[in-house]
Amino acid sequence: MLVGNLQSLSVSEAVVRTFDGKHPCCLCKAIAEGKKSEKKSDSVSSLKKFDGLPLMPSFGIKPPADFLESRSS
């Protein structure tokens, strides 16, 4: 729509006309028709409660029992 408006209007006028909501293109009209035809009860019933992620047990990293630390001086 913006490209079409740019062919006959200045850049600022084309941007305003494209996004002012008063001059919808065919795609905008089709989306509006689809929104009207949607049933609100269908969209509400499809929602599910999100309980969050399951809690993970905390863990730590431990060296093996036979691990010996050697420091070089």
pTM of the model: 0.44
| Alpha carbons 3 and 6: distance in angstroms, whole number | 5
Domain boundaries, the chain: 2-39
Residue 68 has pLDDT above 80, yes or no: no
Mean pLDDT of 36-55: 66
Query: Quick one: pLDDT at residue 36?
Result: 84
Query: Quick one: pLDDT at residue 65?
Result: 75
Tokens of 65: 């029992």
**63 to each of 33, 56, 71, how far by Cα in Å?**
64, 22, 16
Condensed to tens digits (0 to 9), the pLDDT of residues 7-30 reads 999 999 999 999 998 999 888 999
| Alpha carbons 4 and 1: distance in angstroms, whole number | 5
DSSP type of residue 65? T
Q: Which of 4-18, 21-35, 53-67 has the lowest mean pLDDT?
A: 53-67
